């Protein structure tokens, strides 16, 4: 199994190191050909505006949407959450609209306002997740198909999942936390080998994305 890490900009090396630590082969993704054969994809933190430009420049927009359409797990951290959101506060057009959420960039202030926190993430077990927040976004709204995975003590949402797409406002890879990457690897293994008979059932994300593509007359953008 190979999991790709978008390596255009940002903290992609730490994700590759985390994948190596859990025994999963990580692949640097810089162009569409690099997506061939990957069982999952991670969008790292960085600067979402720059990531938008580079995704378009290298022709990765539609191939990543197609990957998600096939049910391949996608995981975004920090800026990766902004990249995946269907709505960005301020009216900026979405980049890869795969998560039905409204996200606010730099919700905690400047880099000097970065902080760390212990989060309850029941899907990952009873041990709290140590989370690093650096110029982090926050989720203001979630759609009906979005599961909230974690909140801050004040109730603000910092981790979500919608079918095969996961996003966190924080950086587990900077805290030595491997459970989100293990979850993605588990999802990737299940996608690769869905079990007897499951191939006859359309993937739920495939249905929702196909409907959006048909309504828009092509891939959503």
> Cβ(134)–Cβ(11) under 8 Å?
no
Rounded to whole angstroms, how far apart are CA atoms 151 and 116?
Answer: 13
Rounded to whole angstroms, how far apart are CA atoms 73 and 27?
Answer: 15
Q: Residue 151: what pLDDT?
A: 98
Rounded to whole angstroms, how far apart are CA atoms 42 and 39?
Answer: 11
pTM comes to: 0.87
Interval 33-74: pLDDT, tens: 999 999 999 999 999 999 999 999 999 999 999 999 999 999
User: Dihedrals φ, ψ of 109, to 5°?
Assistant: 105, -155
Annotated active-site positions, please? 78, 171, 173
Interval 2-40: pLDDT, tens: 999 999 999 899 999 999 999 999 999 999 999 999 999
What confidence category does residue 218 fall into, taking pLDDT thresholds of 50, 70 and 90?
Answer: very low
> Cβ(201)–Cβ(195) under 8 Å?
no
Interval 141-189: pLDDT, tens: 999 999 999 999 999 999 999 999 999 999 999 999 999 999 999 999 9
For residue 203, pLDDT over 50 is answered with no
């Amino acid at each position: 199994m190979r999991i790709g890490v978008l390596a255009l900009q940002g903290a992609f090396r730490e994700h590759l190191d985390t994948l190596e630590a859990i025994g999963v082969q990580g692949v640097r993704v810089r162009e569409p050909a690099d997506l061939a054969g990957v069982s999952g994809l991670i969008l790292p933190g960085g600067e979402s505006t720059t990531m938008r430009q580079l995704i378009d420049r290298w022709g990765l927009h539609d191939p990543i949407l197609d990957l998600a359409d096939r049910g391949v797990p996608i995981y975004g951290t920090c800026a990766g959450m902004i990249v995946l959101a269907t709505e960005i506060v301020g009216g900026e057009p979405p980049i890869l609209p795969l998560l039905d959420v409204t996200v606010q960039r730099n919700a905690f202030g400047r880099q000097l306002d970065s902080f760390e926190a212990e989060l309850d993430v029941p899907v990952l077990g009873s041990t709290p997740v140590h989370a690093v927040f650096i110029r982090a976004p926050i989720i203001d709204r979630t759609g009906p198909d979005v599961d909230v995975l974690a909140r801050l003590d004040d109730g603000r949402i910092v981790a979500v999942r919608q079918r095969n797409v996961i996003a966190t406002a924080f950086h587990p890879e900077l805290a030595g936390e491997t459970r989100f990457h293990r979850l993605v690897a588990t999802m990737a293994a299940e996608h690769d080998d869905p079990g007897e008979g499951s191939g006859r059932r359309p993937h739920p994300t495939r249905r929702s994305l196909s409907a959006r593509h048909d309504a828009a007359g092509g891939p959503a953008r």
